């Protein structure tokens, strides 16, 4: 199975930006700059994840039943070298 | 509830297995300042906190610690995959192997199983946040010590990432402490525990 390593790295980078902004916003909920940064990266990661799931399979159980079989159980799993 | 996302937070790709490194790094899985203890500490401290911003910080940091637990597990898994019994013996991993084979059991580098004695849930906002600040620094020191002992760039890279996250969490808990103190009686922060005492409508403390 071909795993989307490069696309996955892009998702990890964008997801990191979203999570980092969220942590910062917990402490600074009215920071307009952080809110704009959060929105920008949230939008980017959504598009990347849709593309990834279409090509390589589900990232969560909520996107696993689009095919004839249950793809969720297909490896490699995230801790395997081949998945990174 | 919690929703699993089938990806690591940051890539782990280790070319060369090395049981000696795994024997050290396992402390960040189940040691006193490891990721499992960190996640449990913040998840359980948050319930009685009356301020939404601090509940948010505790929740989001705790969830990130679970992602770090998985990254540490990925490092250990890749460092020990495919080793022969001879290689395990030569690395001194045989004492672990006899009980756990190549399974990932949360314990410290010295073999002590993970214990909830490592964490505090005092139910007092200032006490708990000060514990959290110390915990992040202790985890940072452990990663610094791992970097002193490990020379493989494939291992150093994700360890450096995890170390940097401890610094960011320390910053956020610093924000949380500031937010908590801003809401307390400035004359005596410690006369009032907002996680337990009833908030008096006129401000100040009720005992």
| CATH code of the domain containing B138 | 1.20.1260.10
Gap between the Cα atoms of B7 and A78, Å rounded: 5
Query: Which pLDDT belongs to residue B184?
Result: 85
Whether A8 sits inside 8 A of B7 (CB atoms) is: yes
Query: Which pLDDT belongs to residue A4?
Result: 61
Gap between the Cα atoms of B66 and B108, Å rounded: 17
Percentage, residues of chain A above pLDDT 70: 93
Q: Is residue A3 predicted with pLDDT exceeding 70?
A: no
Q: Is residue A54 predicted with pLDDT exceeding 70?
A: yes
What is the DSSP annotation of B30-56?
Answer: HSTTSHHHHHHHHHHHGGG---HHHHH
Query: Which pLDDT belongs to residue B203?
Result: 53
- Structural domain including B107 reads 19-191
Nearest residue to B27 via CA among B103, B109, B117, B91: B109
**Which of A8, A23, A79 has its CB closest to that of B77?**
A79
Q: Structural domain tally of chain A? A: 1
Whether B14 sits inside 8 A of A19 (CB atoms) is: no
Query: Which pLDDT belongs to residue B190?
Result: 79
Nearest residue to B56 via CA among A43, A29, A14: A29
Q: What are phi and psi of B107, to 5 degrees?
A: -150, 170
Whether B70 sits inside 8 A of A79 (CB atoms) is: yes
Nearest residue to B43 via CA among B130, B107, B128, B163: B128
Gap between the Cα atoms of A11 and A46, Å rounded: 9
Gap between the Cα atoms of B41 and B44, Å rounded: 6
- Structural domain including A60 reads 5-83
Q: Is residue A5 predicted with pLDDT exceeding 90?
A: no
DSSP-derived letter for residue A24 is H
Render each residue's pLDDT in chain B as its tens digit; 207 residues.
999 999 999 999 999 999 999 999 999 999 999 999 999 999 999 999 999 999 999 999 999 999 999 999 999 999 999 999 999 999 999 999 999 999 999 999 999 999 999 999 999 999 999 999 999 999 999 999 999 999 999 999 999 999 999 999 999 999 999 999 998 877 777 778 889 987 665 555 544
**Which of A12, A22, A78 has its CB closest to that of B60?**
A22
Structure-block tokens of residue A24: 């910062």
Cα–Cα distances (Å) from B114 to B53, B76, B206, in that order, read 30, 16, 39
CA dihedral A34, A17, B27, B32 (to 10 degrees): 20
Q: Which stretches of chain B are DSSP H helices?
A: 19-25, 27-30, 35-45, 52-80, 85-90, 94-100, 125-149, 153-182
Residue B117 within a domain: yes
Mean pLDDT of A63-75: 82
Q: Is residue A45 predicted with pLDDT exceeding 70?
A: yes
Q: Structural domain tally of chain B? A: 1
Residue B201 within a domain: no
Query: Which pLDDT belongs to residue B17?
Result: 97
Gap between the Cα atoms of B199 and A25, Å rounded: 26
Are B150 and B25 in contact by the 8 Å Cβ rule? The answer is yes
Distance from CA of A49 to the nearest CA of B (A): 11
A41 vs B193 pLDDT, higher one: A41
């Amino acid at each position: 199975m071909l795993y989307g390593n490069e696309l996955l790295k892009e998702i990890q980078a964008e997801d990191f930006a979203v999570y980092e902004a969220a942590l910062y916003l917990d402490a600074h909920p009215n920071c307009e700059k952080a809110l704009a940064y959060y929105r920008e990266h949230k939008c980017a990661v959504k598009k990347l994840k849709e593309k990834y799931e279409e090509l390589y399979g589900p990232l969560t159980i909520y996107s696993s039943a689009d095919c004839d079989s249950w793809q969720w159980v297909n490896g490699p799993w995230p801790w395997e070298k081949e998945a990174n | 509830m919690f929703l699993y996302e089938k990806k690591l937070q940051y890539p782990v790709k280790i070319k060369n297995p090395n049981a000696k490194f795994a024997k050290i790094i396992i402390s960040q899985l189940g040691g006193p300042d490891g990721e499992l203890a960190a996640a449990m500490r913040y998840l359980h401290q948050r319930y009685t906190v009356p301020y939404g911003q601090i509940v948010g910080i505790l929740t989001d940091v705790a969830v990130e610690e679970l992602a770090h637990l998985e990254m540490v597990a990925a490092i250990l898994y890749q460092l020990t995959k495919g080793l022969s019994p001879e290689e395990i013996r030569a690395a001194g991993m045989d004492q672990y192997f006899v009980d756990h084979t190549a399974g990932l059991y949360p314990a410290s580098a010295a073999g002590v199983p993970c214990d909830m004695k490592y964490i505090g849930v005092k139910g007092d906002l200032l006490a708990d946040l000060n514990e959290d600040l110390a915990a992040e620094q202790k985890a940072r020191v452990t990663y610094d010590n791992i970097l002193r002992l490990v020379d493989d760039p494939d291992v150093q890279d994700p360890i450096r990432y995890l170390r940097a996250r401890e610094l960011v969490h320390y910053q956020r808990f610093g924000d949380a402490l500031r937010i908590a103190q801003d809401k307390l009686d400035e004359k005596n922060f410690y006369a009032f525990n907002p996680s337990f005492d009833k908030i008096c409508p006129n401000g100040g403390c009720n005992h």
